[in-house]
Amino acid sequence: MELKKALQIPVKDTDNLIRFFIGGLLNILPIVNFISTGYGFLMMRHQILEEPVEDLPEWNNWGTLFKYGLLTFLASLGYAIIPLIMIGLGTAALYPHVGILSFFGVTLIVVGVIFVFAVIFLYPMGLILFAIEDEFSVVFSFFRIIDLIFKHLWSYLKVFIIIFIMGIILGFLSYIPLVGWILGVFIGFYLLLETALLMGDVGREIAGTETVPAQPATSEPAPATENEPTEAAKPEASTGETDPAGEKKD
C-alpha cells in the first residue's frame, strides 16, 4: 500500500472520519481502549490475510474487538516486564548507595534500556505472527520473530522507521496548550491505524512467502457473520467495506 493512500484512509470521507472519531473517543478511557486496540489489530489481520483495506471497517463485534485488544495489551506487558524490572532494580540500587552497588545499578539501567529498544523493535513482528496464525503464544516465539525480521528486513525496517518518524512529528501536536491532551488521544489512535495498515503490508508479504501452520479448528475466529468463511487465511475478492476481522459488508 502506498504511504499516501494509507495516510488518507482514516480521514478521506465522512464515513471514515466518523469511524475514526469513534475510535479516538474509545481510546480516551482505560480498559475501554482495548476495544480500539483490538479494532486496529483485526484491521491489520484483514490487511494481511484478505484484500487490502480501502476504508476503515465498521464498528461491529465489540466483544471480539475487546478480546483481541486485551490480548495485545498482555503481549505488550509480557515484552515490557523484564526491562522494566531491570530499570527499576537499577534505579533502586543507585540511591543512597555508592561504590560497587551503585555501579551494578547503572549497569542494570543501561542493559534495561537496551532491552526496551529491542522489544520495541520486535513487538510489531510478534503481532504480525499472531495475526497470521491466530495463536497467542507465537507472540513470544522470539527466535521465529527474529528470523522473520532478518528475512524481510528491508520491508520491516522501512515501515518501522516511517511509523517512528510519524510518531515524532505528530507527537509535537500533543504539546499544544489546552487542546494538546485531546489531540494526543486521537493522534494515538491514528498512529495505531497507520501501524496496522503498514505493518499489515509486511505481514502480507510474509504470509505470501512463508509456510505457517494452519489455524486449529477450535480457534475462535475473528468477528464474522454466518455467511463468512471461517478460515481467516483464505483471501476473497470484495469490493465492499469490511469489519476489522474481514467481514464483508453487502
pLDDT digits (tens, 9 = 90+) for 115-127: 999 999 999 999 9
Cα 239 from Cα 250, distance rounded (Å): 9
Q: Domain range holding 46?
A: 3-209
Q: Is position 249 within any domain? A: no
Q: Using one digit for the tens of pLDDT, what is the confidence trace for 160-172?
A: 999 999 999 888 8
One-letter identity of residue 115? F
Contact 189, 21 (CB under 8 A): no
pLDDT, mean over the chain: 83
Per-residue model confidence as pLDDT tens digits over 184-237: 889 999 999 999 999 999 999 998 765 444 444 333 444 444 444 444 444 444
Query: Per the structure, how many domains does the chain have?
Result: 1
Residue 238 lies in a domain: no
Is 240 within the bounds of a domain? no
pLDDT (average), residues 44-54: 91
199 within some domain: yes
Instruction: Judge whether 48 lies within some domain.
Output: yes
Cα three-residue angle 52-57-59, rounded to 5 degrees: 160
Which pLDDT score, from 0 to 100, does residue 230 have? 44
The answer as to whether 11 is a domain residue is yes
Residue 239 lies inside a defined structural domain of this protein: no
3-state secondary structure of 242: strand
